[in-house]
Chain A
Amino acid sequence: MIPSRVADLVFSAMLAVLGGYICLGAYGLGYLANDAPGPGFFPLWVGLAILGLSIASVTRSLRGILAPPDIPVVDALYVLFASGLTLGFIALSYVIGMLGAAFLLMLGIGLLFGTREPRFIIALVVLACAMTAGLHLLFDRLLGVPALV
């Protein structure tokens, strides 16, 4: 389990840093332009709000107010692996083309969330083949999307 209090604290601190960055960026853009609000007017207030609320969240999580339930490590790993596989699809698309990469992505995602038994793997390969053909028909042929090849 990932203790949600610690995760909340780290996340709130990161948001506070983001709030500070937005304020600095907004200040550089200019608060006023021709006696009216400039490009930095709105972001400055938004940055201040994020900064203030994040600091409040930091103090609240330190005091343990409304702490969310702990996060199972396995859930976080699922999300990280699935995201990694999708990023892998992007990299592979430039090498073997989008259709091939999508086929491999489907196999990867299926194996990640599936049972990994021989029968399941055969069905998954069939599904991935059918979906790849469907994607080609819908996006490449019907909608004319210029996919990477």
Chain B
Amino acid sequence: MFDSLSLLAHGISNAATPAILMAVAFGALVGLFIGALPGLGPTAGVAILLPVAVSFDGTAAIAALGAVYYGAQYGGAVTAILLGIPGDAAATMTAIDGHQLARKGKAGAALSMAIAASFLGGLIGLILLTLFATSIASYAIAFGPVEMTALMVFSLALVSVLGGRDPFKSFTALFLGVWLGTIGLDPILGMQRFTFGDVRLFEGVDFSIVAVGLFGLAEMFSSPNATAESRDRMARFRLRELMPDFRAMWQCRKPLSMGAVLGFFVGVLPGAGATAATMLAYATAKRSSRTPEAYGQGAIEGVAAPEAANNAASYGSMIPMFALGIPGSGTTAVLMGGLLMIGLQPGPMLFATQQDFVWTIFGSFYIGNLALVAITLLALPLLAACAFLKPGYLYPAVIAIVVYGVYSINYSMFEVALTVGFGLLGFALTRLGYPLVPLVLGMILGPLLERGVRRTLVSSGGDPRVFFESPIALTLFALTILLIALPPLMRRRDALRAARARRRVAGEQLPPDRLVEDN
């Protein structure tokens, strides 16, 4: 533990350089505004900034992308409270009581609570991240190529939890992503695969192009009226009402701390995500409250618990990504793409070979979390105005940054055109019920899995039994089977229960003589 603390102190001092501080401030500001804009979530924010950020120095790039992620958790609450429209999915629970408070003229109290809860939740999440990340990584370091292959299979199976309600479409999206990952030169023999002989595809399709197209353009262009309907509510709030209420902060200490701890541990679970964490935190706070009836009517605790939870969850979700190389959510999948783009392989070895990098990034998280309080307070009037921004002003600015950002990756207009293509694909996939996260998961993990399988089989002379000789690999394979088999089994059980309940209701409605016949 003392090792972690001294490494963290070293990391914070490394992160306190002008370049990283600028990157963190830039990322936090972008995240704050992205989070505040309805329709654009942290995944879209990280994806949009990805091409710009990778042109920074490696550590600064990831510090900026991380700041977008946790900055968006701060920003999401602004729209949720002022408009009742969550800026992102993780702010949904905040909207319930936050907007009720705003309607009662207590927008300032709700917003200041959201900031305080975001900061304290984030801080608790960061402390837990500091304590747990190293120990998880030190266990995971025992993983060889066989275990890593099994881990990749397990991660890909996460699609059953990260995907949508249709498993067929989730797995189709996953395999589509895996195929996209195979485009380019074969990693072992160097043969061209699906490049159509085009030199520009030899290096494969850049991940940020896919991410920007799928999450940025598709999401933005397909919701043209996302903010329009809320404009008439703007007049109800004045900026001078947005004053902090410190007494309420003390009143909320219990739901806040409970939300943070719960949020962190839910965030660690791959696939659970910040939204699930906020729901659990809100439900727990309500259950343990002396006045549960106040929840939903404008309870300040109903803002504190979910806001602490979503910020803590954003740091919790970094653990599987950094320590194991498993992206547990859409945003961490895009973030992991950023790590790969700057030439770093997330996983247990990252802690051994890139110790300085990891702790500098963790240090930047502490700085960013603190800086966000000041940035949010200063930017609050602008954020409130931004929440009412028309798509006619917002989209031109974002699209200009996107096209320039994508072009700047390889100075290629071909890649800008590809981004547009992925935007169209993203629109079609979303509207037809194909979830996008499995596609991203497949594109990132597919090439790693292929390399692992082929290298292991080359070294074992083509004998696949090598995969079943390791107890860790066997456990992971068993978990994979469980992960895939459980959701359909549970759905079947629920359907059977529902059918039985329907039959029981129908039976109660039948005349007594008919009931005897049926029995």
Contact = CB atoms under 8 A, between A and B. Distances in A.
Interface of A: 4, 7-8, 11, 15, 18, 22, 25, 29, 32-39, 41-43, 46-47, 49-50, 53-54, 56-57, 60, 66, 68, 71, 74-76, 78-80, 82-83, 86-87, 89-90, 93-94, 98, 102, 105-107, 109-111, 113-115, 120, 123-124, 127-128, 131-132, 135, 138-139, 143, 145-148
Given A109-B399, A135-B400, A139-B404, A36 B431 contact: no
A145 B457 contact: no
A11 B396 contact: no
B396 A35 contact: no
Contacts of A33: 189
Interface in B148-178: 165-166, 168-169, 171-172, 175-176, 178
A74 B225 CA distance: 11
B132 interface: no
B188 interface: yes
Given A50-B175, A83-B217, 4 more contacts: A42-B453, A68-B432, A113-B224, A143-B55
B433 A106 contact: no
B407 A98 contact: yes
Q: Pick the 10 closest A-B CB pairs, nearest first.
A: A114-B392, A106-B396, A39-B186, A68-B433, A113-B391, A36-B458, A145-B408, A110-B396, A53-B172, A42-B450
A124 B175 contact: no
Contact of B431 (A25, A68, A83, A131): A68
A84 B392 CA distance: 17
B468 interface: no
Nearest to A128: B396
Nearest to A110: B396
Interface stretch (B99-107, B419-427, B500-508): B419-427
Contacts of B511: none
A134 to B, nearest CB: 8
A90 B431 contact: no
A39 B193 contact: yes
Interface string B184-208: 0010110101100000000000000
Contacts of A37: 453-454, 457-458, 462
A58 to B, nearest CB: 10
Nearest to B183: A43
Nearest to A85: B399
B413 A56 contact: no
A36 B457 contact: yes
A41 B395 contact: no
B175 A131 contact: no
Contacts of A105: 396, 399-400, 403
B416 interface: yes
B182 interface: yes
Name the prevailing secondary structure of the A interface residues. Answer: helix
16 contacts: A43-B182, A46-B175, A53-B168, A56-B168, A60-B168, A75-B224, A79-B221, A86-B399, A98-B404, A102-B403, A113-B391, A128-B396, A131-B400, A139-B404, A143-B55, A143-B408
Q: Chain B contact residues (Cβ within 8 angstroms of A): what range? A: 35 or more
Given A50-B175, A83-B423, A107 B55 contact: no
B168 A86 contact: no
A135 B404 contact: yes
Contacts of A41: 454
A146 B411 contact: yes
B67 to A, nearest CB: 17
A25 to B, nearest CB: 6
B2 interface: no
Contacts of B399: 82, 86, 105-106, 109
B512 interface: no
Contact of A131 (B390, B396, B450, B461): B396
B178 A46 contact: yes
Contact of A124 (B166, B392, B411, B453): B392
A48 B174 CA distance: 13
Contacts of B176: 15, 50
Interface in B384-438: 390-393, 395-397, 399-401, 403-404, 407-408, 411, 413, 416-417, 419-420, 423-424, 427-428, 431-433
A137 to B, nearest CB: 11
A24 B191 CA distance: 16
A29 B189 CA distance: 11
Nearest to A148: B413
Given A54-B172, A106-B396, A29 B407 contact: no
Interface string B92-121: 000000000000000000000000000000
B393 A123 contact: yes
Nearest to A75: B222
A50 B434 CA distance: 13
Given A53-B168, A102-B403, A124 B396 contact: yes
A62 B194 CA distance: 31
A109 B396 contact: yes
B461 A47 contact: no
Contacts of B462: 32, 35-37
A111 B419 CA distance: 22
Contacts of A109: 395-396, 399
Contacts of A7: 428, 431-432
B391 A114 contact: yes
B179 interface: yes
Contacts of A29: 186, 191, 193
Contact of A147 (B392, B401, B407, B432): B407
Nearest to B391: A113
Given A15-B176, A66-B165, A110 B393 contact: yes
B407 A113 contact: no
B179 A22 contact: yes
Contacts of A11: 428, 432
In this complex, the member of B217, B400, B420, B428 whose beta carbon has the largest number of chain A beta carbons within 10 angstroms is B400
